[in-house]
Amino acid sequence: MEADRVPPAASLGRTLRSFGYAGAGLSFLLRTQPNFRVHLAAAVSVVGTALGVGATAVELAVLILAIGLVMVSEAFNTAVEAVVDLASPTVHPLARIAKDVAAAGVLIAATLAAVVGFVILGPRLIALVRP
């Protein structure tokens, strides 16, 4: 019976292979997804700016969490698009909805991350340009 099946025991080799699969996924994102590269460039810029203007450790952590949310959203969006393309090679209204909603998730995450960035960094950046 299927419910009685015991999952295979964890092993170091199996764990290392899973990291390899994750690395392959990250490599795929970097090589093929222009939006992921844009988000990554923005992340480096935001973290550099935060360090440059003296953001606190907590502020930096909040920024990094917001950035991580965007990156994870982009990864899930790419995965949804790949699965939808596999399941529905022809244009289908439900396939379009799945892709559009996944993309909307990235847009929501990126918008929220931008708001977090402006709340944390905005006052410091404004202070730099005001005499």
User: Domain residues for 71?
Assistant: 11-129
Question: Can you give the pLDDT at residue 29?
Answer: 98
Q: Examine residue 81 and state whether it is found in any structural domain, yes or no.
A: yes
Question: Can you give the pLDDT at residue 3?
Answer: 65
Calpha distance 53→129 (Å, rounded):
12
Q: Examine residue 91 and state whether it is found in any structural domain, yes or no.
A: yes
DSSP 3: G
CATH number of residue 22's parent domain: 1.10.287.3610
The count of structural domains within the chain is: 1
Query: Is the Cβ–Cβ distance between 39 and 104 less than 8 Å?
Result: no
Could you list the beta-strand ranges (E) of the chain.
none
Question: Can you give the pLDDT at residue 1?
Answer: 55
Burial annotation 83-94 (CB, 10 A radius, 16+ → b, else e): ebeeeeeeeeee
Q: Examine residue 57 and state whether it is found in any structural domain, yes or no.
A: yes
**Nearest 5°: CA angle at 41, between 35 and 47?**
135
Calpha distance 77→62 (Å, rounded):
23
**CA 7 vs CA 3, 14, 19, 22: distances in Å:** 10, 13, 19, 21
Q: How far apart are the first and last CA of the chain?
A: 75
Tell me the average confidence (pLDDT) per consecutive run of 10 residues in the chain, 131 residues long: 70 91 97 97 98 97 98 98 95 96 98 98 94 75
Question: What positions carry a catalytic annotation?
Answer: 74
Q: Examine residue 45 and state whether it is found in any structural domain, yes or no.
A: yes
Q: Examine residue 3 and state whether it is found in any structural domain, yes or no.
A: no
Q: Examine residue 24 and state whether it is found in any structural domain, yes or no.
A: yes
Question: Can you give the pLDDT at residue 24?
Answer: 97
Q: Examine residue 48 and state whether it is found in any structural domain, yes or no.
A: yes
